[in-house]
């Protein structure tokens, strides 16, 4: 089957790429190995749109913090699967070496620009398409019980302000006036005013329906099993049922990007990081804002008739089967911070894989080895947040347009 633009991957990044390419007039075909939108790493996440998250995952102090967390496995935000895999060990070494001030300085401004572009695109997309997905633009509050972590959160907020992120520090009285459902020992918060939230499953479902209506051909449960390459161009993309030929190809397969890239003889250093979510029935006094439990590194978001918590970062784990021990811990963390009614109960749980690069910065750019391949992956925990911006940038790359923001920091060549 011949097509103009072929997108491999139907998650948040792939669907956003399809949307902006279709708007530009391109013909689009999507191949997804599972079912859309459930295949997305964002499907069951907290649904937070966080342009404030501009610090790369590989930042100074991260390795030390991770080791300290792992000494207390019952509350650790971080976990790591040990396996005798040379590429995995190499990735871990690269990640540790990237946790530097130089990497922070290299990545923070490009991440800020990507986040701001995406925040604006979200607002415009949802308004224009009239998506019903519980979209709210009233910020995200990181809340604290521990004085030291509160002080660290305030310090980080002050640093974010230098990069144009609007921050408001909330003392206990102000915080509890805004959100009376919080338990009395929650002592304060840092409000990222420009953040937003939505129901990710409803958003992705609406987006997939919209790209279908715009003319995209979508093949679900259709994994790619191989490629043919001639003269530096991908000439054929093979699946079990048919072969596709495309002028332009977008690789947006998240945690599985490195596996597909092997057949293309290109190094994409992505490792999966498993995370979990727990959805609770709505308390009578539903919070109005999204939160991060700053002492636990857990995101909590209200939408519709559920309150969802998302947390944990387990490196090197490809299984999406929820660890029930951690599901119960996430529920308990919520109960520690929120004064729930007696009848509030867990209604759903989920696990998904985030694609993480060694420097904690996404990959968005043309392949240096293939004339018709663009790579868009490695967004870690901000694949939902950065989806619309990535989609616009990929469309500009495909169409040879002037780039809205500089994408040099996101190029794949930094790993080659």
Average pLDDT over residues 77-106: 90
Of 75-79, 123-127, 152-156, 198-202, the one with minimum mean pLDDT is 75-79
Strand extents, DSSP E, 264-403: 271-281, 290-293, 298-303, 306-315, 346-356, 363-366, 373-377
pLDDT-based confidence at residue 401 (cuts at 50, 70, 90): very high
Tell me which H or E stretch contains 245: strand 243-251
Q: Give the whole-number percent of the chain exceeding pLDDT 90.
A: 90
What residues have CB less than 8 Å from 130, skipping those under 6 apart?
none
Average pLDDT over residues 242-258: 97
CATH of domain 2-415: 3.50.50.60
For residue 308, is pLDDT > 90? yes
pLDDT-based confidence at residue 71 (cuts at 50, 70, 90): low
Highest-confidence segment of 65-79, 305-319, 357-371: 357-371
| Average of per-residue pLDDT values in the chain | 95
Q: What share of the chain is helix, strand, coil (3-state, %, to 5)?
A: 35, 25, 40
How is the chain split into domains, by residue range?
A: 2-415
Using alpha carbons, list the distances in angstroms from residue 241 to 113, 129, 238, 259: 41, 34, 8, 20
DSSP letter, residue 58: S
Distance CA 326, CA 315 (A): 15
Q: Is the pTM of this model over 0.95?
A: yes
Of 24-28, 82-86, 321-325, 349-353, the one with minimum mean pLDDT is 82-86
Phi/psi region, residue 130 (left: phi>0; alpha: psi -120 to 50; beta: rest), is: left
Structure tokens at 273: 């990081």
pLDDT-based confidence at residue 70 (cuts at 50, 70, 90): low
For residue 74, is pLDDT > 70? yes
């Amino acid at each position: 089957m011949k097509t103009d633009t072929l997108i491999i991957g139907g998650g948040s990044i792939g669907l956003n790429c399809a949307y902006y390419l279709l708007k530009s007039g391109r013909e689009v075909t999507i191949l997804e190995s599972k079912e859309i939108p459930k295949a997305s790493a964002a499907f069951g996440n907290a649904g937070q749109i966080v342009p404030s998250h501009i610090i790369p995952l590989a930042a100074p102090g991260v390795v030390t913090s991770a080791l300290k967390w792992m000494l207390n496995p019952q509350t650790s935000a971080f976990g790591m699967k040990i396996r005798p895999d040379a590429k995995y060990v190499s990735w871990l070494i690269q990640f540790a070496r990237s946790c530097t001030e130089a990497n922070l300085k290299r990545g923070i401004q490009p991440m800020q620009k990507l986040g701001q572009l995406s925040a604006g695109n979200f607002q415009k997309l949802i308004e224009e398409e009239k998506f019903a997905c519980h979209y709210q633009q009233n910020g995200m509050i990181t809340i604290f019980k521990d004085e030291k972590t509160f002080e660290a959160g305030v310090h980080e907020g002050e640093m974010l302000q230098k990069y144009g992120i609007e921050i408001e520090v909330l003392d206990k009285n102000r915080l509890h006036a805004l959100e009376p459902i919080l338990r009395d020992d929650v002592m304060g918060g840092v409000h990222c005013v420009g953040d937003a939230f939505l129901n990710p499953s409803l958003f992705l479902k609406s987006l997939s329906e919209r790209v279908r209506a715009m003319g995209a051909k979508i093949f679900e449960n259709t994994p790619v099993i191989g490629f043919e390459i001639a003269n530096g161009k991908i000439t054929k993309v093979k699946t079990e049922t048919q072969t596709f030929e495309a002028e332009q190809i977008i690789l947006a397969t998240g945690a599985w990007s490195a596996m597909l890239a092997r057949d293309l003889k290109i190094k994409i250093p992505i490792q999966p990081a498993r995370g979990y979510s727990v959805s609770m029935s709505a308390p009578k006094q539903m919070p109005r804002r999204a939160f991060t439990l700053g002492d636990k590194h857990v995101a909590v978001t209200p939408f519709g008739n559920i309150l969802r918590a998302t947390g944990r970062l387990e490196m090197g784990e490809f299984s999406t089967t929820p660890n029930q021990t951690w599901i119960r811990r996430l529920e308990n963390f919520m109960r520690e911070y929120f004064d729930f009614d007696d009848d509030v109960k867990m209604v759903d749980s989920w696990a998904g894989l985030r694609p993480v690069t060694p420097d904690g910065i996404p990959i968005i750019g043309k392949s240096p080895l293939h004339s018709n391949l663009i790579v868009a992956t490695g967004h870690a925990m901000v694949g939902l947040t950065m989806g619309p911006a990535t989609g616009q940038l990929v469309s500009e790359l495909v169409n040879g347009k002037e780039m809205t923001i500089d994408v040099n920091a996101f190029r794949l060549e930094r790993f080659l």
